[in-house]
Amino acid sequence: MQIQLILERQGDNAIEEIRRINTVMTELGYEGRTVFAEAYGADGLVQILDVRASGGQREILAMDCSREQVQAVLEWQSCDDEGEFEDLVIHLVRKGSEVVNG
């Protein structure tokens, strides 16, 4: 499992990366299957990612993730000892308001 963290405050680079991911997901047949993290708590986000990965989705985009949600996904990643999701790529886009500039 690979986790890619995208910070919305990175400006044009973040926007271009999200567009690229959406293009890839469309090509893979996952169009319109973006996860909107604000609809879930940290555990709920991990559960929906697990359901999608178990259902065969191998590239997942989750928008507006909080710090707690990112941490929960990273903890879930560390528990994948059997390599069940070895070819899974999860793109987590952090909430822009929570990014600290400095």
User: By CB neighbour count within 10 A (0-12 exposed, 13-18 middle, 19+ buried), where does 27 fall?
Assistant: exposed
Closest CA to 61 of 25, 101, 11: 25
Percent share of the chain, pLDDT over 70: 84
pTM metric for this prediction: 0.79
Is 41 a residue whose pLDDT tops 90? Answer: yes
Is 101 a residue whose pLDDT tops 50? Answer: no
The C-alpha angle 91, 92, 94, rounded to 5 degrees, equals 150
Domain regions of the chain by residue span = 2-98
Higher pLDDT pick, 67 / 82: 67
Is 102 a residue whose pLDDT tops 50? Answer: no
Three-class secondary structure of residue 31 per DSSP: coil
Whole-number Å distance between alpha carbons of 16 and 22: 10
